[in-house]
Amino acid sequence: MSDTDHTGVLLAAIARIEQRQTAYERVAHRMLDILEVHREKLDAILAAANREPGPSPVLGVLAEILESLREQESLLAELPGALAETIRDEWSHEPDVDGEPDADDPAMEPAAGSGAFDDRADERQ
């Protein structure tokens, strides 16, 4: 092999090395750009983590829900009494159409031994 052939081989090898170096430089620049973006994001996360939190709107909403539930609880607690009173009022204003004695008025109950319930006496035995 002559010196010119060696020079051609060396020049080709140097050209390949330069191409690889250029490709590596491009990859390195892309990696540096990616790392810069990650650094900026991490800086933003650290800044947010070091900042004192402000008042949360969730606390106010939860307080309103709790107040509403307490109001509903008090209404539900009063409901049996209100229903009983309403039923008593309805019964007191309702005419006696069935002809049966009222359970609330003992004067309306049949007298003992009057025979009103004698037909059921056999059922109890």
Residue pointed to by tokens 């070091």: 50
Cβ atoms of 110 and 117 within 8 Å: the answer is yes
Q: pLDDT tens, 29-81?
A: 999 999 999 999 999 999 988 888 778 889 889 999 999 999 999 888 888 88
Q: pLDDT tens, 67-117?
A: 999 999 988 888 888 888 888 888 887 666 666 555 555 555 555 555 555
**Of 99, 97, 117, 118, which Cα lies nearest the Cα of 108?**
99
Cα separation, 28 vs 34, whole angstroms: 10
Q: Where are the domains of the chain?
A: 1-51
Cα separation, 93 vs 104, whole angstroms: 14
CA dihedral for 90, 91, 92, 96, sign (positive or negative): positive
Cα separation, 66 vs 60, whole angstroms: 10
Residue 67: predicted pLDDT: 94
Neighbours of 101 (CB within 10 A): 14
Phi (first) and psi of residue 64, to 5 degrees: -65, -40
Residue 66: predicted pLDDT: 94
- Answer yes or no: is pLDDT of 4 > 90: no
